[in-house]
Amino acid sequence: MHIDYTSGFIPWEDVQGQTVASYTCFDNEGRLVEVMPKNPASHDSWHPIQADPAYHYNLGMILGNPDDVQPSTSQNPQALQHQQEGEVLTYIKQGYIMSLNMPSSYQFPTDSTEVTVKYTDSRNHTLTSQIFRTWN
């Protein structure tokens, strides 16, 4: 499935009940990226809102319209391994959760959502996404 965001965000109501599956979209430079479902970690390192189909199916909006893009400079071994295999960029969007207009969005008037993408010659795909609090 390919998602085109020319009409803006996909409404929350339109994707409720849908299975969260991978899809493709274009990033802000027109590169095709496969957005993968987020794998919950073994500990409580993710928020339930990230399991909502509206969260998943609108992540492409961040890739196409980021507020900031940062290369990975992490020394985490997992990050270093991916950096050796391709370019790793994190796309950052402020206020993403509120933009989704989900009923649960209103618990998050302030958020920064990050989507990390790995680019290789053969495939571009997301590695993770996270919600953070911006406070300064």
Partner 1 sequence: MQAITSTTINDWKISYNPYTDLFQIFNEKVFNTQNKDLGSKKKGCAVLVYEKSTRTPLMVEFRRAYEYLGDIDNMSKKAIIHNVIGYVESHG
The contact set with partner 1 (CB under 8 A) reads 41-47, 70, 72-79, 82, 88, 90, 107-111, 114, 116, 127-128, 130-133, 135-136
Which CB sits closer to partner 1, 22 or 110?
110
- Minimum Å gap between C-beta 56 and partner 1 is 16
By C-beta, is 17 or 91 nearer to partner 1?
Answer: 91
On the 0-12 / 13-18 / 19+ scale of CB atoms within 10 A, 131 is middle
Q: Whats the size of the chain, residue-wise? A: 136
Nearest to partner 1 of 24, 83 (CB atom)? 83
Strand ranges for the chain from DSSP E: 23-26, 32-35, 68-71, 87-94, 112-119, 124-132
